[in-house]
């Protein structure tokens, strides 16, 4: 029902209930833009889905991934992904912490899909040097990160097929939006007996100085 062919008759557009209020030209072919070539699309189409759609040819290994990681990733993410004393994300560990007072949302403890690793490393990492890794290098770094999270073996050959087959430990850890989950009422008088301050921002003391020039 979301197909909008050229020159769609106004009457059937109205039947969709979607375009009633639009000016007549809205569904016309405006003649603007041009056909995108396959090369143009391929150069920018770098996304990867959980079912493996979008994964390119190529392959990588844990061993190669470790070498790349040490050289290009570890100065932010730390050795073996445990954070480097900086505030960059911790990439490994954290299993069993999601219900604790200190949840650690790492690749192993939190990420639902391995495909997201490939997609994100390819498009955004290393930070400040995005899209400089080759496909084989991305496969290797992905293999290494899954390996240090105990998700794939040391000798895995990471490629489109094996990556699409990886099942992440927390794949079942997500639920779709079920809000609204709270229901306040618009009480107007004598709404509560106890009004006690339990928390003062001033006692925390982490607010930047507003007088300081930025």
Partner 1 sequence: MARRRYEELETKNQADSGERPPADSGDTEPRTMVAMDRRRFLSAGVAAGATVAVGATAMGAKAANPENLPPNVPEWSQVLGEAVDQAPYGAPSPFEANVVRRNVEWLTSTTEASINFTPLANLHGIITPNGLCFCRHHGGAAEVDPADHRLIVHGLVDRELIFTMDDLLRMPSVSRIHFLECAANGGMEWRGAQMEALQFSHGMINCCEWTGVKLKTLLEQAGLKPKAKWLLAEGADAAGMTRSIPIDKALEDCILVYAQNGEMLRPEQGYPLRLLVPGWEGNMSIKWLRRIEVGDQPWHTREETSKYTDLMPSGKARRFTWQQETNSVITSVAPERPLNGKGFYELSGVAWTGSGRIKRVDISTDGGRNWTTADIAGPTLDKSLTRFRMPWRWNGDEVLLQSRAMDETGYVQPTFTQLRRERGTWSIYHRHAIQTWLVRPSGEVENVQLS
In 3-state terms, what secondary structure has residue 140? helix
Q: Residue 63: which of 153, 139, 161, 154 has the closest Cα?
A: 154
187 lies in the binding site for partner 1 (CB under 8 A) = yes
Specify the DSSP element, H or E, that contains 158.
strand 157-159
For partner 1, which residue of 10, 15, 18, 20 counts as binding (CB under 8 A)?
Answer: 18
- What does the CA dihedral 54, 58, 61, 64 come to, rounded to 10 degrees? -110
For partner 1, which residue of 11, 17, 57, 128 counts as binding (CB under 8 A)?
Answer: 128
Considering only residues 133 through 172, tell me which ones interact with partner 1, judged by CB under 8 A: none
Query: Between 75 and 150, whose beta carbon lies closer to partner 1?
Result: 75
For partner 1, which residue of 17, 21, 39, 207 counts as binding (CB under 8 A)?
Answer: 207
106 lies in the binding site for partner 1 (CB under 8 A) = yes
Residues 2, 23 contacting (CB under 8 angstroms): no
- In the 3-class helix/strand/coil scheme, how is 48-103 assigned residue by residue? CCCCCCCCCCCEEEHHHHHHHHHHHCHHHHCHHHCCCCCCCCCCCCCCCCCCCCCC
Between the CA of residue 177 and those of 171, 174, 180, 212, what are the distances in Å?
Answer: 16, 9, 9, 41
17 lies in the binding site for partner 1 (CB under 8 A) = no
Q: Is 148 left (phi over 0), alpha (psi -120 to 50) or beta?
A: alpha
Shortest spacing between CB 160 and partner 1, in angstroms:
16
Shortest spacing between CB 192 and partner 1, in angstroms:
6
Considering only residues 23 through 62, tell me which ones interact with partner 1, judged by CB under 8 A: 23, 25-27, 29-30, 32-36, 40-41, 44-51
86 lies in the binding site for partner 1 (CB under 8 A) = yes
Shortest spacing between CB 155 and partner 1, in angstroms:
27
Query: Between 61 and 148, whose beta carbon lies closer to partner 1?
Result: 148
For partner 1, which residue of 80, 113, 139, 144 counts as binding (CB under 8 A)?
Answer: 113
């Amino acid at each position: 029902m979301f197909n909008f062919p050229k020159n769609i008759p106004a009457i059937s557009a109205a039947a969709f209930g979607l375009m009633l209020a639009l000016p007549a030209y809205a569904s016309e072919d405006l003649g603007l833009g041009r056909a995108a070539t396959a090369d143009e699309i391929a150069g920018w189409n770098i996304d990867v889905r959980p079912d493996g759609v979008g994964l390119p040819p190529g392959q990588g290994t844990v061993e190669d991934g470790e070498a790349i990681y040490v050289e290009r990733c570890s100065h932010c993410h730390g050795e073996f992904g445990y954070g480097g004393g900086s505030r960059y994300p911790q990439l490994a560990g954290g299993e069993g912490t999601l219900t604790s007072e200190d949840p650690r949302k790492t690749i192993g403890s939190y990420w639902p899909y391995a495909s997201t690793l490939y997609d994100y490393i390819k498009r955004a990492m290393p930070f400040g040097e995005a899209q400089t890794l080759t496909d084989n290098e991305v496969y290797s770094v992905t293999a290494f990160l899954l390996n240090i999270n105990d998700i794939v073996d040391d000798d895995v050959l990471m490629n489109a097929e094996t990556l699409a087959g990886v099942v992440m430990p927390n794949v079942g850890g997500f639920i779709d939006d079920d809000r609204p989950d709270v229901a306040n009422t618009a009480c107007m008088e004598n709404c509560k007996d106890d009004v006690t301050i339990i928390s003062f921002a001033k006692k925390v003391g982490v607010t930047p100085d507003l007088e300081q020039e930025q």
